[in-house]
Amino acid sequence: MLNWAAMLVSMLVQFFLSPFTVHHLGNLVYSVWILVVSTVAYFNLLDLGLRSAIVRFVSKGYTQGLHEDARKVVCTALWLRIGIGTAIVLLGTGLAAAFPRLFTIPTELRQATRLSIILIATSLAITLASGVLGAVLAAIHRFDLLSFVNIFRAFARMAGFVWLLRHGYGIVALAAWELLAAVLTGVGLTWFCWITYPELRAFFGPPDMAVMRKICGYSIYVFIGTIGGAIVYHTDNIVVGMFVTTSAVTYFAIAGNLVAYAREILFAMSSTFVPLASGFEAEGKNEKLRHLLIQGTRASLVLFLPVCIALFFRGHTFISLWMGREYAVISGTLIQILLLNQVLAMANITAGGIAYGMEKHRPSAIWAIGEAIANLTLSILLVRRMGIYGVAWGTVIPGIVINLICWPYYISTFLDISAYEYIWKGWGYAALAATPYGLACRWEEQHLVANNLAVFFIQIIAILPLFLLACVVVFWKQVRPHFYRRLGWV
């Protein structure tokens, strides 16, 4: 439950901070801030896919009682992350010097931009190091503690940003606050890991070379997939900044951030599927893996589709009320384009978590690289013809191919389930349940007026019972036993 609360808090914080930050920094400075964050985010590639490896091997060791093996994994991963963090700080310093040559940065912002890059890179280095212990909490299913830390960081980040922006501080102060939040988060993760998994208390020791080879053998494919993901998720703003204008980044970032909030939910959900799948495989429970695939896919879609449908049909109105009327048309259209692939990615999130949990993730790494190359190539080609919308289509088209064709076929090959059964039982039922709600959203956008966000949300909430009723009808076989039990009939 706390895991869902953490995701909700993160979304609400971002929902509040985005317009607040844009209006206090201004369009140009906010665009520079987004470029700084997006560019430094590429340093996540140096993680080499270690988090998934930590979750996989610690979960397996914890389930089988092999705590010394789990401890060796944590020790080795921590040393690797410390080395990676040091490299990130050095690379960030180099990037800071070159950044004004890569983008058109006003002279008065260049020094602040350089310092912000160094601070953000340092906070990323600390986040990666402490993330080893966060992965341990995920591996032992202590998502409650992990969520508590994430909630704390979200509120701390919001409070700091609001205070700093209201007192007239700029991007350097925001970057410094991000660094402080990273330090506090690291302290919290270390403490919780210390008290919940006492067998790992001596986690800071010399690295084990045999374990390092095992981790690298698993994580190399995660790393390759991460490279593809970084290009897909973080290149768009850079392409817009280079080929359109620096100030146009804000328009794309507004739409991209809304999709990113949804993506955060997906990543949080997939993190729960990885240790579950790893545990089921270790116990030889193949039927439970197939059940997890279908039920996890349905749950992901049922939770996620109402948000996607509302944004697709009513995104222009929402962005106008949320960020300002001047962003409604461009950002509203961008969100419609980007959602086409995001819904399909959401439909495969359970499949991806199972593949990673069973060490069946190698093909997905190759797909990710192919998707990244196609994404970057198409974005650069289409931006010249279609402007900012071309960047969105360059992102969406390769993703649709991967999510609509590759994932359904692949997951069926090692779970002994047909691709048709997976799509129909996993995707089809949820799509049927969402159809009445989608039609109602479209009708509201055409016939109702929302003068403020409160009215907008009331309108959305008013038609949610349609979706809930449709879910009961479509999933009646699953709902019926619980319904009868509530009535005391069984």
> Would you state the pLDDT for residue 79?
84
Residues found in the chain: 490
pLDDT of residue 256 exceeding 80: yes
Report which residue type is found at 478: Q
Given a contact cutoff of 8 angstroms between Cβ atoms, the answer to whether 70 and 102 are in contact is no
CA distance 310 to 312: 6
Rounded to an integer, what distance in angstroms lies between the CA atom of residue 326 and that of residue 113? 26
Reply yes or no on whether the pLDDT at 245 is more than 90: no
In terms of domains, do 201 and 343 share one? no
Distance, CA of 372 to CA of 376 (rounded, Å): 6
Specify if 165 maps to a domain.
Answer: yes
- The answer to whether residues 160 and 27 belong to one domain is yes
Whether 477 is in a domain gets the answer no
Residue 102: other Cβ atoms inside 10 A? 13
Other Cβ atoms less than 10 A from the Cβ of 386: the count is 13
Q: Say how many domains are in the chain.
A: 2
Residue-level pLDDT at 54:
80
CB of 103 within 8 A of CB of 241?
Answer: yes
- CA separation, residue 323 to residues 36, 149, 404 (Å): 21, 29, 33
Closest CA to 145 of 324, 2, 340, 28: 2
Band of residue 452 on the pLDDT scale cut at 50, 70, 90: very high
For residues 89-93, average pLDDT = 92
Q: Is 190 exposed, middle or buried (0-12, 13-18, 19+ CB in 10 A)?
A: middle
Q: Report helix, strand and coil shares of the chain as percent, to nearest 5.
A: 90, 0, 10
pLDDT bracket for residue 219 (50, 70, 90): low
pLDDT at 222: 66
Q: Above 70 in pLDDT, residue 410?
A: yes
Cβ-Cβ contacts under 8 Å for 480 (sequence gap 6 or more): none
Q: Stretch 4-15: mean pLDDT, rounded?
A: 70
What is the rounded CA–CA span in Å between residue 186 and residue 321? 37
Q: How confident is the model at residue 180 (pLDDT cuts 50, 70, 90)?
A: very high
pLDDT at 181: 92
Give just the sign of the alpha carbon dihedral 101, 253, 157, 88.
negative
User: Does residue 72 sit in the same domain as residue 183?
Assistant: yes
CB-based contacts of 9, cutoff 8 Å, min separation 6: 150, 151, 154, 155
Highest mean pLDDT among 184-193, 208-217, 460-469, 479-488: 460-469
Distance, CA of 477 to CA of 489 (rounded, Å): 16
241 and 111 assigned to the same domain: no
Token pair, residue 358, equals 């069973």
Asked whether 61 and 73 are in contact (CB, 8 A), the reply is: yes
Fill in the DSSP letter of residue 208. Answer: P
The answer to whether residues 23 and 58 belong to one domain is yes
Work out the widest C-alpha separation in the chain, in whole angstroms: 74
Range in 223-227, 242-246, 293-297, 342-346 with the lowest mean pLDDT: 223-227
Query: Is 69 contained in some domain?
Result: yes
In this structure, the answer to whether residues 132 and 70 fall within a common structural domain is yes
Is residue 253 in some structural domain? Answer: yes
pLDDT band at 270, cuts 50/70/90?
low
DSSP for 61-73? HHHHT-HHHHHHH
Last residue of a domain, one of 144, 173, 207: 207
What integer pLDDT is reported at residue 485 of this predicted model?
57
Q: Do 330 and 196 fall within a single domain?
A: no
Q: Does any domain span residue 485?
A: no
Residue whose C-alpha is closest to residue 159's, from 141, 135, 180, 130: 180
Is pLDDT of 251 > 80?
Answer: yes
* pTM exceeds cut of 0.75: no
Residue 487 has pLDDT above 90, yes or no: no
Among 50-59, 84-93, 286-295, 472-481, which range has the highest average pLDDT?
Answer: 84-93
What does the pLDDT average to over 192-196? 84
Please give the pLDDT value at position 383.
92
Poorest-confidence range of 248-252, 378-382, 452-456?
248-252
The pLDDT value given to residue 123: 94
Q: Which is more confident, 207 or 134?
A: 134
Q: How far apart are CA 466 and CA 476, in angstroms?
A: 15
% of the chain beyond a pLDDT of 90: 30
| Domain of 259, in residue numbers | 221-471
The verdict on residue 54 lying in a domain is yes
196 and 242 in a single domain? The answer is no
Q: How confident is the model at residue 4 (pLDDT cuts 50, 70, 90)?
A: low
**Residue 305 located in a structural domain:** yes
Residues 200 and 261 in one domain: no
109 and 226 within one domain: no
Distance CA 19, CA 11 (A): 13
Please give the pLDDT value at position 465.
Answer: 93
Token pair recorded at residue 373: 């190359």
What does the mean pLDDT of the chain come to?
Answer: 83
423-459: string of b/e by CB count within 10 Å (b at 16+)?
bebbbbbbbebbeebbebbeebbeeeebeeeeebeeb
Nearest-5° Cα angle at 317, 314 to 320: 145
The pLDDT tens digits for 390-403 are: 999 999 999 999 99
Same domain for 235 and 86, yes or no, is no
Q: What is the dihedral of CA 228, 343, 52, 356, to 10 degrees?
A: -100
Label residue 335 by pLDDT band (50, 70, 90): very high
Count, in order, helices (H) and strands (E) of the chain: 19, 0
Structure tokens at 142: 């202590």
- 119 shares its domain with 1: yes
Residue 135 exposed, middle or buried by CB count within 10 Å (0-12, 13-18, 19+): buried
Residue 203 lies in a domain: yes
